Structure 1
Amino acid sequence: MQIIDNILSLNKKRGTKFLLDKFVWKITEYLKNRYRRQLYAAKSSFSGKAVDVQNLNFDIFKDFIAKFDNEKSDILFNVCDRVLEHRFDILGHYDINCGHYYENSYEVNKHCTKPQNFKSHREYIKKHINEQNQKHSILISRNLPESYKLIDWERDFASGYRWNENTWHRKIRYGAIEGVDIKVPWEIGRLQFLPWMAFASHVSGDLKYIKAADNIAIDFIMSNPPYFGTQWMTAMDAAIRAVNICAYLAIKKQNGSTVSEKDIIISSTLEDHYNFIRKNLEWSGGMRGNHYFAGICGLIILSSFLGASDKKIRTLRFALNMLSEEILYQFDNDGGNFEASLPYHFFVSEMLFTSLSAIENIGDNRLNWLNMLINSDDSFTIDDNRIIFADEVMNRIQAIKNFSAATSLDDGRYPKIGDDDSGFFLRTNPPFIAREGDIISKDLRNLDEMVYRENSAFRFDDFGLYVINRNKFNLYFRCGSLGQNGKGGHAHNDQLSFCLFVHGREIFTDPGTFNYTAYPELRNLFRSTASHNVLQDVNMEQNPLPEGLGGDLFWLDDLTKSQMLKFDDDEIEAEHYGYGQPVKRALKIKDDAIEAIDSYELKEIKFINFHLFPGLKAEAINENLIKIEIEECSIWLKSDDGKFQIIEYDYATEYGKKVKADKIVLTSYETNINWQISINENN
């Protein structure tokens, strides 16, 4: 029934023509997929195409490599030393051994298959790889020492559940078994640690990191024939993996590594990735998002990196045109990403600026070839050996930079507004997703021309985010769109919520995202009204949370219809209609205080929630006054229109991990509830 409700909702929002176009596209995709499945039932899905490593365009990663920060080498080696032993940090699960051979800490249950031991790599291939691909996998396996212990690329190491690598990629199913999360094998299969291993060898002078990384890459290629298993389920994951492999090879080249047989095999898989992404782009005439954007960026980088050919240059032309289109489609006029999630804004922005950096160094040969193909229908030109996008696109790119600067602190942290799956595209160093919950995107923040001003206000009406900065604090206020053209798939019930940083420390926070499909109830809990710093009607959600499993959990119908009534440097006034009648929040902003009135014409009990960042402790001075102490100052929360209580809540430090933190709840029967936050500096 949920899928029918979703279709009816979409028809109401977008119209019958939209649904018919989507239906035709679905049928076309079904027929193409059916043909490929029949084709690869009779022949190997490996292309077997050899790649001349010397013709790879390593220069497109010059700027990326230059960003590497030696000062973070302690973190780099902490990660890479454990990768040597196949121990990974995966979505909140730390130091997990990902081999076939090892027992892990998960509880064995009816959904769990035990790890297996194999006498040889050949035995593994015979038992696990489909017959059409066994010959090619065996050839690849000869480049692995028999002492090498294979990684299990199909297992959710949190639950123990394992998918089948022989399943056709479009037949993979997930979300039906509680506690099982397909994002775990996806995450390890992105191979985002490969560039870090190359940097570790560069810094230490020890080739053990590169040797281990080569073996892991060969293991992946051998164990995951194209089009089969979880690792080929989405073009987005294939694109992220391919880009990281390209960067890895470029770092090795810069470090002076000579070309080996393993380099040839690793380079050859890029052809398979290129073909897979090109044929499986996650486009939709209805609602497409970060998955499609990742695929386009993957094609830009692959067609710029692999040896130049007419086919690759034509793909590059197509991808550049699609990038222009998606910049305008997926980023609003104010520069914010249309999915109404700040973490996803930075995720997709990483994809964009990584691709723009790559084409800055694409080389004269490819540019000249490309220039012979383009015409007035293209969305870009080539001038002075540079790819130049149309003015509208360039203006949107500048807006993205400005939005990114205004919504993050100097060190790159930003509030976790909307969904956050801890995803990233390509990083020179292991991401600073610290265990206390910091989120860092400093590489993006350091782009040229970004502007950040103290004592200023920024309004982003399209995204629905408003920022006020003072010398002592940074205030983020949420009011507006649920994103995705009304689908709301990555939005939360956070209308009129706020996050507050004081002296650079996050005080009042958004609890983040713990999981997507593994635990539907927890998915909805972290999206719920009660999980945000808002006035809560105890009997209602701002917007009804979806029931169901899998994709059903990525909807949110907009009943709130939020409006920003007044916004300037000193005042915010906004309202929503999610409870059937107006809920209004008015804030007066001073240099060391925020004075608020929450209005809702309901004389029954209601809550106002204040979620503290983990590690902070709230002290109840009395039922009307709360004190929060940090090194620089004391923060006071006061209200005479209700009573405060302090309870615990779950905060997601990253996707897959939650910790306990303090939540302050103001209980009141008043229709106009006054409360105040004040900052008193310590002497």
Structure 2
Amino acid sequence: MKSKIYRIAHKIIPQKYKNNITLLLYRIRGIKIKRQIKYAENYDLKFSDIENICGFDHVLPDKYLIFDKEYSLNDLPLFCEKNKFSSGDIKDFREFSRLYFLLSLALCNRTKLIKEIFSARLKTDIFLWENAMETAIRAVNLSVTFQLIKNKLSAKEQKTWMYRLFSCGIYIRNNLEKMPGNSNNHYLFDLLGLIWLGVNFKNNEIADEWTDFAVKEFEKEINLQFYQDGFSYEGSTNYLFEEIEIFLLAEIALMSSDRNFSFSFKEKFKKIRKTAFAFTFSDGSHANIGDTDSGKILWLDWNEPKNNLTPLFTLLKACYPDDDIPGFKPDENSGLFRLFSFGLKKTAYIENDRSLFFPDINAFIRKKQNNSLIFWGGAVKNEPLFAEHKHSDINQILLELDGSQIFTDSGSFRYNPVFSVRRSFVEEEAHNTVKFAESQRDFKDAFHKKNRKIKFEYLEKSNDKIKTKVCFKNVIWTREIINDNFNNISIIDEVDQPGNIYFILHPDIKIERVSDNVLIFKSKNNNYKFKSEEKILILYHEISYEYGKKIGTRKLICNLNKKNKCFIARV
């Protein structure tokens, strides 16, 4: 006979997932939870309070209300078929485990159903304890839900919820996803969970340590994981918007504590937001560059595509009114904004009880705007959708993508959601200047599709001595290297392969292609006579998580391949 949870899973899980139910059930048993419960017992949160809990007897209702709008069960992400993501982004079960839906049910005043689901989770642990990031997202949703329904819970039930939340904090603190060198977005999620829970349980010695630790780590990570222009080293726009939500919620949370981020942190966060806005279209969507993950921390707008940024940007615009979001019109009816701005006021049963933390976005907004809530009025008609940034070295950029052409005025560079100079810097050594203008990492998906090509014209002056014009077509990576040591160089060729970039600095030789770590060179005009053994200076760039640190030049001795009439070098 099948178990109850197995029968329920067959009821509510779409047909295309049913073959994976056994694997799913194996993953959601939650092996790690027993160890974490044992940890939690040391902090006066006894498991005896919750040992007699009923099983999972109900599924989610067929109909429920969110902000006076009716949605069916199919609108939940677990059952939603309408949002077609790439194969790497189908994570329905994981997202179900993040408990987004509990927050929606709380705002619908479905406390009884929440209590039944929550109680069943303590018995069967039907949601994943996969890693610290997942636990942090779940903890934020649990804590907000708890604050919304707290006054409808008994004293024993309140203690049970607090026990579970505290257990989440212990789990995160003991399983931080810190990596050698640069960490990634997982670690930022971990830190947000610690801040959120630390403020929840403020004045507790252990929880205060979580908050202090997370604030210090955030100050470090924002400089380790983000370049000076505000783009993440992971090279993903999806991660960039996730990280903006992380920083925003962390800053809001600290409003309810005596801690705060430094001025330098806030200035860097401002740069990050400015860069992110450049990748955004007026309808709230954004260029999908890099990893296609589109996770969220708080998700209330089920009827919107998951990659729609309107709810997040509406909240950002309220908190940071000076931010310029070209072509964007805030939506005051978005669930995320209503939750923080006045969703609490509509939930009368929690108005007089703030014994546990819940962020007051109105106080945050008033502090930012001198007691006035001002929204940006939206886009001016025919307003360009892309932010402009001065870049004196660039004369003109023509971007041709799916038939659309975008030009910039002379002397300015306009970010485009699909093509962006991610990082530019100058290194000076004596009289040598090497300048790198780097395009966005992971452009393969953008430019390998049919009918997509890029033309990049770049007129550069270096000490008024060298004028270099570089034109590339149908390439993924675009780089410009200028060095006074090579005054005779007018054209610089490049070629890419996964993980590496190669440049040859020679006026008469071009790189034909790379195959199995073999560089193949040819004469540009068929006039150059290859020697049987020749030294060619190649700039070799290795793409890694420590982006930009492994750049160097070396001389390679190449052997003539007479059969193919070309020059090759093994690297």
TM-score (norm: length of structure 2) = 0.50
Aligned: 1:249 with 2:146: yes
Task: Select which of 389, 392, 401 maps to 1:458.
Answer: 389
Aligned: 1:398 with 2:270: yes
Q: Give the deviation of 1:452 after TM superposition.
A: 3.5
CA contact 1:198–1:251 (8 Å) conserved in 2: yes
> How far, CA to CA, are the matches of 2:252 and 2:36 in structure 1?
39
Q: Secondary structure at the match of 1:578?
A: strand
Task: Tell me the residue number matched to 2:111.
Answer: 210
Q: Please show how residues 388-427 of structure 1 align to structure 2 within 5 Å.
A: 388-427=260-299
Task: Tell me the residue number matched to 2:176.
Answer: 281
> How far, CA to CA, are the matches of 1:532 and 1:97 in structure 2?
48
Task: Select which of 298, 304, 310 maps to 1:432.
Answer: 304
The structure-2 alpha-carbon separation of the partners of 1:193 and 1:391, relative to structure 1 and needing over 3 Å to count, comes to same
The structure-2 alpha-carbon separation of the partners of 1:261 and 1:325, relative to structure 1 and needing over 3 Å to count, comes to same
Task: Select which of 299, 302, 313 maps to 1:442.
Answer: 313
Query: How many residue pairs are counted as aligned between the two chains?
Result: 352
Q: Deviations over 1:605-633 (max 9, x none)?
A: xxxxxxxxxxxxxxxxxxxxxxxxxxxxx
Task: Tell me the residue number matched to 2:22.
Answer: 113
Q: Give the deviation of 1:213 after TM superposition.
A: 1.9
Task: Select which of 429, 439, 443 maps to 1:494.
Answer: 443
Q: Give the deviation of 1:419 after TM superposition.
A: 1.6
Q: Which amino acid aligns with 2:195?
A: I
Q: Which amino acid aligns with 2:134?
A: D
Task: Tell me the residue number matched to 1:641.
Answer: none
Q: Deviations over 1:331-379 (max 9, x none)?
A: 22112222111111001110110010111122xxxx2xxxxxxxxxxxx
Q: Secondary structure at the match of 2:247?
A: helix
Q: Deviations over 1:198-244 (max 9, x none)?
A: 1122xxxxxxx2221222222223223xxxx9822210000000011
Task: Tell me the residue number matched to 1:235.
Answer: 132
> How far, CA to CA, are the matches of 2:301 and 2:216 in structure 1?
31
Q: Which amino acid aligns with 1:478?
A: F
> How far, CA to CA, are the matches of 1:182 and 1:138 in structure 2?
38
Q: Which amino acid aligns with 2:313?
A: K
Task: Tell me the residue number matched to 1:296.
Answer: 191
Q: Give the deviation of 1:394 after TM superposition.
A: 2.4
CA contact 2:37–2:167 (8 Å) conserved in 1: no
> How far, CA to CA, are the matches of 1:343 and 1:318 in structure 2?
26
Q: Secondary structure at the match of 2:304?
A: coil
Q: Give the deviation of 1:576 after TM superposition.
A: 5.5
> How far, CA to CA, are the matches of 1:200 and 1:564 in structure 2?
56
The structure-2 alpha-carbon separation of the partners of 1:531 and 1:200, relative to structure 1 and needing over 3 Å to count, comes to farther
Q: Give the deviation of 1:181 after TM superposition.
A: 9.2
Task: For CA contacts below 8 A with separation 6 or more, give which structure has more relative contact order.
Answer: 1
Task: Tell me the residue number matched to 2:58.
Answer: 148
> How far, CA to CA, are the matches of 2:195 and 2:228 in structure 1?
24
The structure-2 alpha-carbon separation of the partners of 1:246 and 1:128, relative to structure 1 and needing over 3 Å to count, comes to closer
Q: Deviations over 1:95-114 (max 9, x none)?
A: x99636667513765x6539
Task: Tell me the residue number matched to 2:380.
Answer: none
Task: Select which of 552, 556, 563 maps to 2:479.
Answer: 563
CA contact 2:195–2:211 (8 Å) conserved in 1: yes
Q: Deviations over 1:450-479 (max 9, x none)?
A: 114545523799xxx9997999x9943425
> How far, CA to CA, are the matches of 1:476 and 1:181 in structure 2?
20
Unmatched runs of 5 consecutive residues or more in structure 1: 1-85, 87-95, 117-123, 159-178, 202-208, 368-386, 483-490, 498-509, 511-527, 537-558, 567-573, 584-599, 604-683
Q: Please show how residues 268-417 of structure 1 align to structure 2 within 5 Å.
A: 268-362=163-257, 367=258, 387-417=259-289
> How far, CA to CA, are the matches of 2:207 and 2:143 in structure 1?
15
> How far, CA to CA, are the matches of 1:426 and 1:114 in structure 2?
27
Unmatched runs of 5 consecutive residues or more in structure 2: 62-76, 80-86, 327-382, 400-405, 424-439, 456-474, 483-491, 505-509, 514-571
> How far, CA to CA, are the matches of 2:167 and 2:203 in structure 1?
16
Q: Which amino acid aligns with 1:389?
A: F
Q: Secondary structure at the match of 1:418?
A: coil
Q: Which amino acid aligns with 1:197?
A: L
Calculate the aligned-residue CA RMSD, in Å: 5.2
CA contact 1:405–1:450 (8 Å) conserved in 2: no
Identity of aligned residues (%): 20
Task: Select which of 530, 548, 553 maps to 2:449.
Answer: 530
Task: Tell me the residue number matched to 1:168.
Answer: none
CA contact 1:196–1:429 (8 Å) conserved in 2: no
CA contact 1:493–1:532 (8 Å) conserved in 2: no
Task: Tell me the residue number matched to 1:198.
Answer: 106
TM-score (norm: length of structure 1) = 0.43
